[in-house]
Amino acid sequence: MDAPYFTLELAPSGVAHLQLCRPERMNTLAPPFFPALRDAVGRLDAEGRTRVLVISSTGKHFSAGMALEVFAGAGDLAAMLDTGSARKRLAFQDGLRRLMGCFDALERARFPVVAAVQGGCIGGGLDLAAACDLRVASADAFFTVQEIHIGMAADLGVLQRLPKIVPPGVAREMAYTGARLGAERALAAGLVNAVLPDAAAALAQALALADAIAAKSPLAIAASKRALDYAVDHPRAEALEQMALLQSAVFDIGEMGRAIMAWKTKTAGEFEPLAPVPPL
């Protein structure tokens, strides 16, 4: 399962690994990347066999964000960026919503997503990382809202997600100044869960986290992710009401028995994968 911007493999354990693979371009992103990512994640989610997705990269940097030639508006991209009339602005809005939705696919997926970040996590690369559930970083990693340096507000979700991950003051500092948040400060701010010596160690830690998650009941993990995501944007009372409905949908005594036995015996639990999502 490959695309020009990344490779994708699914292990028997249920851990999928998507790796950006354009190190010669600092893993910059261009419009075709977004639907490719959305469709790949959507396929994994629909099939039901994936329990965790790890997103990593190759080369010196995780991602330098959107390729600058995109903003030059050459060729087919000129129409996408044209806001010269009311009709064109309306089309621009719809096109931007579609791009936003490609990263939303990471949140909608029933499985958690873990990012392993090395070097620069810049602009659109930070939008991608912020849409993941967990992030680990190498010691040389840094995070920056690059868009402010080129005269635009970041628009693919980082301004909406970052204040719910790090303290709002840190998010605003990054958004207003484009300041680089180094790995250690990112750890202190809660943007990453761990800092490792290098890219290989960061990927190993991300895969270890993925293995730990994959060993749990995928039904319980999916429900936990749904509850956590809902609680971010809803008052406590509404989130508790959603939890009551959600728990009634996923409560499974047989699943719990298998989980308890695995926990007591310190063995791997035997859990069925999630059911495939029926195609339309």
pLDDT of residue 3: 64
List the Cα angle 117/122/125 in 5-degree steps: 65
Per-residue pLDDT reduced to its tens digit, 99-108: 999 999 999 9
pLDDT at 1 over 70: no
Tens digit of each residue's pLDDT (9 = 90 or more) over 10-59:
999 999 999 999 999 999 999 999 999 999 999 999 999 999 999 999 99
Contacts of 76 (CB under 8 A, 6+ apart): none
pLDDT for residue 145 = 98
**What pLDDT digit, counting tens, does each position of 148-197 carry?**
999 999 999 999 999 999 999 999 999 999 999 999 999 999 999 999 99
| Mean pLDDT score, 58-64 | 98
pLDDT in tens, 195-214: 999 999 999 999 999 999 99
Does the pLDDT at position 2 exceed 90? Answer: no
Give the pLDDT score at 77.
63
pLDDT at residue number 4 = 87
- 245-275 tens-digit pLDDT: 999 999 999 999 999 999 999 988 899 999 9
| pLDDT, position 268 | 84
Q: What is the pTM of this model?
A: 0.95
